């Protein structure tokens, strides 16, 4: 842990200030290129593992029929094209989610489309889901096996034009097919704020059922998670649960962030008013925590699990989401602001918190602080 502290201090005191002088997307691309090279060699993966991975049996858990060595995953958005899954797995993530990926390649929105808010430890994303397309990414990840579950996040192709609901359903099903033999789970990005402004045909149950019926006809379908805009609307949740009820392969839910930057922030208002896109990072923590609390109190916990993502930058952040009802958690922005050492820091911290509270395994802590648990 002493080496970890040195690495994290060096990143935050010396490396990050230099990186933050440069264009965010350019730095992200260079980071991916470096991680791709390091992750492609056994020596590189061993180095990453020795620096950033942390193992403890109490962190292991089963979700959706899959085994996770720890509950901390890399969220979609960081590795859009499956280039650095080997590096991320070696760093100690319990699972890696790639994407969002569409059936057809997409260039995404014009640049600039990624912005930092250092005062808030947040980023504003307006990428428009650029990606190489399902066929290319499926071939790439097939050649880069990893020892942790691989999630594939699928989205409609961002053409800038309105698409008929039936066409979106067909496109998402087609995007899934190349990943059947490779993905450990599929995450359907149903309300991507960078393609539809958070509004999609899946806001109502009819088209969602159509999509799930298409999936049901696919052989060897992996577990499916549905990613939708965070909310605490009982009626909206009820139709979602009604729509998925006939489909046992739906194993749970992940929450997208609504578009915009409407949060209490330290960054100057004049700066925020000019930024398009969706805010991610520490300021969204309360929104996602409340969403996790709300959904956990209403889902069938024998069938469905929650993956909590948004505002996690410490073990306490992750533990709070777990205790509210998240079986797994993900991060992204924390990697930008805290550096790669945050993976080991969070997993080691979770282990300590579980031991402190007398939990033999992480699953025992899921939902412990949710009042709805007592009603079940």
Active site residues per annotation? 192
How many whole angstroms separate alpha carbon 236 and alpha carbon 133? 31
Q: Which residue has the tokens 């960078």?
A: 194
Q: Nearest CA to 93 among 75, 113, 106?
A: 75
Number of CB atoms found within 10 A of residue 127's CB: 23
Q: Which two tokens stand for residue 86?
A: 């080997």
d(CA 302, CA 310): 24
Residue position matching structure tokens 């070696």? 90
CA 179 to CA 101: how far, in whole Å? Answer: 11
Q: Which two tokens stand for residue 14?
A: 């010396």
CB 267 within 8 A of CB 119: yes
**Strand, helix or coil at 232?**
coil
- If we measure between CA atoms, which residue out of 90, 61, 117, 45 comes closest to residue 268? 117
């Amino acid at each position: 842990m002493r080496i970890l502290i040195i690495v994290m201090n060096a990143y935050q005191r010396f490396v990050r200030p230099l990186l933050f002088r440069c264009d965010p997307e350019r730095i992200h691309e260079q980071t991916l290129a470096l991680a791709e090279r390091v992750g492609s060699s056994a020596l590189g993966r061993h180095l990453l593992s020795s620096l950033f991975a942390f193992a403890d049996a109490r962190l292991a858990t089963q979700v959706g029929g899959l085994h996770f060595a720890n509950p901390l995953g890399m969220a979609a958005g960081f590795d859009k094209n499956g280039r650095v899954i080997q590096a991320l797995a070696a760093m100690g993530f319990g699972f890696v989610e790639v994407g969002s990926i569409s059936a057809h390649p997409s260039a995404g929105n014009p640049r600039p489309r990624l912005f930092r808010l250092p005062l808030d430890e947040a980023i504003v994303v307006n990428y428009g889901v650029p990606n190489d397309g399902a066929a290319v990414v499926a071939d790439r990840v097939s050649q880069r096996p990893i020892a942790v579950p691989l999630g594939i996040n699928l989205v409609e192709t961002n053409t800038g034009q309105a698409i008929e609901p039936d066409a979106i359903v067909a496109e998402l099903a087609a995007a899934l097919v190349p990943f059947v033999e490779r993905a450990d789970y599929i995450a359907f990005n149903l309300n991507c704020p960078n393609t539809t402004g958070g509004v999609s045909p899946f806001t109502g149950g009819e088209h969602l059922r159509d999509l799930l019926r298409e999936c049901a006809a696919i052989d060897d379908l992996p577990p499916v998670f549905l990613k939708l805009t965070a909310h605490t609307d009982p009626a909206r949740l009820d139709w979602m649960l009604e729509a998925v009820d006939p489909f046992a392969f739906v194993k749970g839910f992940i929450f997208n962030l609504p578009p915009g930057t409407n949060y209490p922030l330290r960054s100057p208002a004049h700066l925020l008013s000019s930024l398009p896109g969706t805010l991610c990072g520490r300021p969204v923590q309360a929104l996602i925590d409340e969403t996790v609390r709300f959904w956990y109190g209403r889902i069938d916990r024998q069938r469905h699990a929650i993956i909590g993502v948004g505002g996690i930058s410490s073990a306490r952040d992750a533990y709070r989401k777990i205790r509210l009802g998240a079986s797994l958690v993900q991060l992204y922005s924390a990697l930008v602001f805290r550096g790669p050492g945050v993976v080991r820091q969070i997993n080691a911290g979770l282990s300590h918190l579980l031991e402190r509270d007398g939990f033999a395994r992480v699953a025992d802590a899921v939902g412990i602080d949710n009042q709805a648990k007592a009603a079940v």
